[in-house]
Amino acid sequence: MPFGLILAIRLAARYPVCPFGQTGEKFLSLTQSVGRCYDSAQKLMRPLTAMTVACWLLVVQGLAGCDDSGLNHEKSTVHSDVRLVLVDVQVVNKKTNQIVGTLKQDDLRVYEDGIEQRITTFSQDKLPLSIVLLIDLTDSVRPVLQSLSRGALLALQRLRPQDEVAVVVYAASTYLVQGFTADRALAAAAIENATHLKNREAAFFNEGIYQAAKYLSVVKNPDSRRVILWFTDNVPNTPSDEVKNRMGASLSGKELHTEKQALEQLFRTGTVVCTLVKRSLMSDEDDAHYRTAVGTDHIDRLMHPPGDVYKYAKTTGGIVVESNEKKLPAKLAELIDDLRLRYTLGYSPSAANPQGTFCTIKVEFAPEVKRLQKGLVVEARQGYYR
């Protein structure tokens, strides 16, 4: 068999999911092209020296190189200009757990670093959405992915034509299955493909969130509202060195991003995290083990916070929805509908701060709304970077 074809097959098998959302079929075409070039050169320049062969292999490696996350982070389109700060806000009735979409601009107040700001823009469902569907690939989640994929296309049809969706999967490492697209069928097919991907590595939540938020910095529309819709069982593995070495072979020794770094990336991109949690018997058993952990296991989780869906949602102004397997597609559709009911507030900061400064944000109700609507809760991201 020609060496180029052998090389193509080996590379395609090694990199089943590639940057830019390419799958094995497209990547095989790329490597076959490289292989044909190599075979042609082999006929013209026999015998090749060892140095020449080494050079060819370096070229192939450069073409095939995927970073550990499987995502290609191009130059960020998020700008540091903070003449206008946009804040995504959600209001929930805590008694009925229903989203409230009937408020007006005067019903809300926004504070930066404790100082009230003048709201200059107020809208609802006007800005397009850029959504990363982040899917947990671990053994405890995979049994219920089929249910999600069956209703995914119908749920995604609730998005507007200008909204874009990407599909990212993770376990120990993170991989892009489908880049941003407005084609709902493509996104649904990517979810279906994800149900067939098997991975027996650990679930490192912080790495998955960090990479998904990082990918949202290269959205096609820089003015869109950025959202991570996360599908998981909320049972992360502790990102300790011992667990990483035992259950993270795909990392190839690279350092994992921490919870702090993941939160920072969410703040920098203005991303909201909304989570659809589905438990399985396996995840309940794993969760019970972690909750009763003592000794070294407990210390490891304190030293290496594994990440939690409720903390990520609370910090970014998102929401967590729990579901059984049968209702997963309907719950996904509800989450998308709820995104349409969120408010976008805009203000120009009254104080000047150096670039890179972290500024806290707090959104609350106006005094009259507090008095009349005591059952309402307002959620918004807790800060941003200048």
SS3 state at 254: coil
Q: In which band, very low, low, confident or very high, does the pLDDT at 292 lie, cut at 50, 70 and 90? A: low
Checking if the pLDDT of 361 tops 80, the result is yes
pLDDT of residue 316: 97
One domain, residues 180 and 154: yes
Residue 15 pLDDT grade (very low, low, confident, very high; cuts 50, 70, 90): very low
Q: Specify if 319 maps to a domain.
A: yes
Whether residue 223 is found in the same domain as residue 284: yes
Does a structural domain hold residue 76?
Answer: no
Q: How much is the pTM?
A: 0.76
For tokens 């709201």, name the residue: 119
For residue 78, tell me if it sits in a domain. no
For residue 289, the model assigns a pLDDT of 53
255 and 119 in one domain?
no
Q: What is the mean pLDDT of residues 175-204?
A: 92
Based on the domain organization, do 230 and 281 belong to the same domain?
yes
For the segment 304-351, what is each residue's pLDDT rounded down to a tens digit? 788 999 999 999 999 999 888 788 888 899 999 999 899 999 999 999
Structure tokens at 223: 């003015």
Kindly report the average pLDDT of the chain as a whole number: 79
Specify whether 120 is located in the same domain as 226.
no
Q: Is residue 75 part of a domain?
A: no
CATH of the domain at 297: 3.40.50.410
Q: Are residues 188 and 321 in the same domain?
A: yes
Question: In the prediction, which pLDDT does 150 show?
Answer: 80
pLDDT, residue 257, reads: 96
Whether residues 103 and 135 share a domain: the answer is no
Which of residues 125 and 298 earns the better pLDDT score? 125
* Structural domains counted in the chain: 3
| 89-104 average pLDDT score | 92
Establish if 101 belongs to a structural domain.
yes
Q: 217 in the Ramachandran plot: left (φ > 0), alpha (ψ -120 to 50) or beta? A: alpha
State yes or no: pLDDT of 72 exceeds 60: no
Residues 6+ apart with CB under 8 A from 201: 138, 171, 172, 173, 247, 248, 249, 250
**pLDDT above 90 (res 20):** no
Nearest to 137 by CA among 77, 200, 181, 86: 200
179 belongs to a structural domain:
yes
Kindly tell me if the per-residue pLDDT of 367 is higher than 90. Answer: yes
Is 349 among the domain residues? yes
Same structural domain for residues 239 and 186? yes
Range of the domain at 360: 85-124+342-385
C-alpha distances (whole Å) from 69 to each of 16, 19, 241 are 13, 9, 18
Name which of 90-94, 124-128, 193-197, 284-288 the model is least confident about: 284-288
**Residues 171, 135 share a domain:** yes
pLDDT surpasses 70 at 378: yes
Least confident among 58-62, 263-267, 364-368: 58-62
Is there a single domain that holds both residue 209 and residue 166? yes
Give percent of the chain with pLDDT exceeding 90: 51
Query: What percentage of the chain exceeds 70 in pLDDT?
Result: 73
Using one digit for the tens of pLDDT, what is the confidence trace for 22-49? 344 443 344 344 444 444 444 433 333 4
Domain-embedded: residue 356: yes
Residues 256 and 308 in one domain: yes
Residue in 252, 304, 246, 273 with CA at minimum distance from that of residue 70: 252
- Residue-wise pLDDT tens digits, 224-240: 999 999 999 888 999 99
- Six-digit token string for 149: 């994929």
Whether residue 97 is found in the same domain as residue 145: no
